[in-house]
Amino acid sequence: MIFTVTAGDGLQVTVPGGSADIGNGTPGSQISGQLGSITVTDHRTALTAGWTATVWGTDFTTGGGSGAETVPNSAVSYWSGPATAKTGTGTFVPGQPTAADAETLNGYYTAFSKISGFGDNSATWNPTIVIDVPGQAVAGTYTGTVSHSVA
């Protein structure tokens, strides 16, 4: 007798649809809010089921995107916080467990990882974005992109 265990849909990251409204503030202030639930799902059914989710961001702009209409990604920080849900075996590690560990989005940083365990697993977290509004920023609705990938 033989049997086969098959793998599912692989490794994927799911993010909330649409735009996240982080709030509002005045020039020189700080704005913070949560992005919504980010979930990594691993259906590779692997013996060594480790993965790393990475985060990065663009500049945020309004109007024509001139200097006064831009909040650079170096003024936008991200911290993952702890897992809000997880499934499977192993050790799940937040990239930035607390606000003191926040990373600016002008580079590529680990948002969350799984460093041990096996089989199907998942982790969900609700990251916080902190924006240091430049003192010369003009009024407007600023848009930018915060991206996640997993490998």
Backbone angles phi, psi at 46, to 5 degrees: -90, 155
pLDDT one-digit tens code per residue, 77-108: 999 999 999 999 999 999 999 999 999 999 99
Dihedral class, residue 109 (left if φ above 0, else alpha if ψ from -120 to 50, else beta):
beta
User: Which amino acid is residue 103, in one-letter code?
Assistant: E
Radius of gyration of the chain (CA): 18
pLDDT tens string 56-65? 999 999 999 9
Q: Judge whether 105 and 57 are in contact, CB under 8 Å.
A: yes
pLDDT given at position 18: 87
Read off the pLDDT of each residue in 134-151 and give the average, rounded to a whole number. Answer: 96
**8 — pLDDT class (breaks 50, 70, 90):** confident
pLDDT tens across 19-75, in order?
A: 899 999 999 999 999 999 999 999 999 898 899 999 999 999 999 999 999 999 999
User: Please, what's the largest Cα pairwise distance for the chain?
Assistant: 73
Measured CA to CA, the distance from residue 75 to residue 28 in angstroms comes to 11
